[in-house]
């Protein structure tokens, strides 16, 4: 068992690191969501102008690129979180039990990380493509 290889202080640091990386994933998602919202508001303010198609197309393109950056950043961070959680499950028996119980509750469920890491940015990806097509049409 991995827990025997770690001192109590090391296990505590591992747990803190696990929490830190999980919080980073959430904070980065929040940052991108706020930035995306500001881009959508800016795009919406151009709609009443009518003849601002170039500006709308540029904003939609920038929103698209921001979404691609979001997908890349949160996917990478999710992989880091997954690696650390795997180590923590091997070292911290209570954490392993909690994760196992959570997985057993609802078989075949959509996982939260699917929605946060892929779902929301994916939806915005499609939205920006749609808004770009509208702006250049």
What does pLDDT average to in each consecutive run of 10 residues of the chain (137 residues)? 78 93 91 95 82 85 96 92 92 86 67 82 95 88
Which segments of 8-119 does DSSP mark as H helices, in order?
8-46, 53-91, 93-105, 112-113
2 within some domain: no
Q: What is the pLDDT of residue 95?
A: 87
1 within some domain: no
67 within some domain: yes
How many domains does one find in the chain?
Answer: 1
Comparing CA positions, the residue from 63, 59, 76 lying closest to residue 25 is 76
61 within some domain: yes
Residues 25-55: b if buried by 16+ CB within 10 A, e if exposed: beebbeebeeebeebbeebeebeeeeebeee
Range of the domain at 118: 7-136
Q: What is the pLDDT of residue 103?
A: 66
114 within some domain: yes
Q: What is the pLDDT of residue 105?
A: 62
């Amino acid at each position: 068992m991995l827990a025997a290889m770690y001192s109590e202080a090391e296990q505590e640091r591992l747990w803190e690191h696990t929490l830190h990386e999980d919080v980073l994933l959430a904070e980065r998602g929040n940052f991108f969501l706020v930035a995306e919202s500001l881009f959508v508001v800016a795009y919406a303010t151009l709609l009443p102008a009518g003849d601002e198609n170039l500006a709308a197309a540029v904003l939609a393109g920038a929103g698209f690129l921001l979404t691609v950056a979001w997908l890349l950043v949160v996917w990478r961070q999710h992989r880091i979180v997954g690696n650390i959680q795997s180590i923590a499950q091997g070292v911290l028996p209570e954490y392993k039990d909690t994760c196992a119980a959570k997985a057993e509750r609802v078989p075949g469920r959509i996982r939260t990380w699917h929605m946060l890491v892929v779902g929301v940015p994916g939806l915005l990806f499609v939205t920006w493509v749609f808004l770009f097509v509208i702006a250049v049409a």
